[in-house]
A and B are shown apart, each in its own frame.
Chain A
Amino acid sequence: GESVGLHLPTLSVQEGDNSIINCAYSNSASDYFIWYKQESGKGPQFIIDIRSNMDKRQGQRVTVLLNKTVKHLSLQIAATQPGDSAVYFCAERRSNYKLTFGKGTLLTVNP
């Protein structure tokens, strides 16, 4: 079964608020994690990644936090915009380099 799962299947926020999307993983051997964004009718788009030897990584308006103790990954989006509305997937990479994706969280940004 899936070892990567999402706590919340849907998230609705107001424009300008910060969004936090969570993800749990169960394989402690996973060494690399990625967040993808998928807009309707498009393929997943890489947002940000983090290696297991880090606990935080920042990009443009996005931050990924990794808590290996509780096997938890989160994606924070600052000042959420309508264009951020999409499904967000976390993915983990195991030693065989295969990516395993979570089910996804639908983020809706209300104007």
Chain B
Amino acid sequence: DSGVTQTPKHLITATGQRVTLRCSPRSGDLSVYWYQQSLDQGLQFLIQYYNGEERAKGNILERFSAQQFPDLHSELNLSSLELGDSALYFCASSVGVGEEQYFGPGTRLTVT
């Protein structure tokens, strides 16, 4: 157990809908990272927050957004969902910026 929690574990929704994925980092970690993992693209970095502020952006679509709250938990919002958004979404956390990241168990999103 990495200490990073993610909810929900599974999510099934229809195209065009909006969902919110939630992540709680390990105690003491200030950075939260979001990744998307699909069979054809591998593990893709989406976005990073450090102590509430956006720190780095990767291959995140404009339909996706994220935020980190004062209690350091983070949410990833996915809107106007498409079939291609079906994937595993992982959250990771680290103490600061650039240290080893600890991954949560992931949320499996299925868009039908």
Q: Which residues of A does B touch, CB under 8 Å?
A: 2, 32, 34, 36, 42-46, 49, 89, 93, 96-104
Cα separation A93 to B92 with both chains bound (whole Å):
15
**Chain B interface mostly helix, strand, loop or mixed?**
strand
Contact A102 B105 (CB under 8 A): no
Query: How large, as a class, is the contact surface on chain B?
Result: 20 to 34
Smallest distance from the beta carbon of A8 to chain B beta carbons, Å? 15
Which of chain A's residues has its CB closest to B6's CB?
A43
The number of A-B residue pairs with CB atoms under 8 Å apart is 49
Q: Assess the A44–B45 pair: CB atoms within 8 A.
A: no
CA distance A36 to B90 in the complex (A): 14
Q: Is the CB of B2 within 8 A of A32?
A: no
List, in ascending order, chain A residues with CB within 8 A of B43's CB: 44, 89, 101, 104
Question: Known interface pairs A96-B56, A97-B56. Does A46 touch B98 (Cβ–Cβ under 8 Å)?
Answer: no
Per-position binary interface string of chain B over residues 15-48, scored 1 when its CB falls under 8 Å from any chain A CB and 0 otherwise: 0000000000000000001000000001111001
CA distance A80 to B103 in the complex (A): 24
Contact A97–B100 (Cβ < 8 Å): no
A32, B98: Cβ atoms under 8 Å?
yes
Report yes or no: A45 in contact with B56, Cβ–Cβ below 8 A.
no
Within 8 Å by CB of B42, from A32, A97, A104, lies A104
Alpha-carbon distance A97/B100, docked complex (angstroms):
11
B43 → chain A, closest Cβ, in Å? 4
